[in-house]
Amino acid sequence: MADDNKRFFEWVEVLSKGILLGGSIGAIVGWFDIIPLAKGVALGGLCGCLAAINFKQRRDDRSE
């Protein structure tokens, strides 16, 4: 059970970092009026989430 909790918290950590980083980059893009701010944060958060999942999967594959 403790191993499952550890894996869950690893996923939460990776996803939260990805969403925050992607949303921040999206906010910067929105501040430069390339796209609207809300859309930039939303799209950045989504891209950050997908990038975080990809990063976690690659890191897990490399450690095996």
Using one digit for the tens of pLDDT, what is the confidence trace for 51-63? 999 999 998 898 8
Please tell me the predicted confidence (pLDDT) of residue 36: 96
Query: Residue 57's domain spans which residues?
Result: 37-63
Residue 45 domain-assigned (yes or no) = yes
Distance CA 14, CA 6 (A): 12
Distance CA 28, CA 2 (A): 39
Residue 43 domain-assigned (yes or no) = yes
User: For the chain, what is the domain count?
Assistant: 1
Residue 4 domain-assigned (yes or no) = no
Distance CA 45, CA 21 (A): 7
Please tell me the predicted confidence (pLDDT) of residue 3: 84
Q: How many CA atoms lie within 13 A of 43 on its CB side?
A: 12
Please tell me the predicted confidence (pLDDT) of residue 64: 73
| pLDDT score of 43 more than 90 | yes
Percentage of residues in the chain having pLDDT higher than 70: 98
Using only C-alpha atoms, the chain has a radius of gyration, in whole angstroms, of: 14
| pLDDT score of 27 more than 80 | yes
For the whole model, what pTM was predicted?
Answer: 0.84
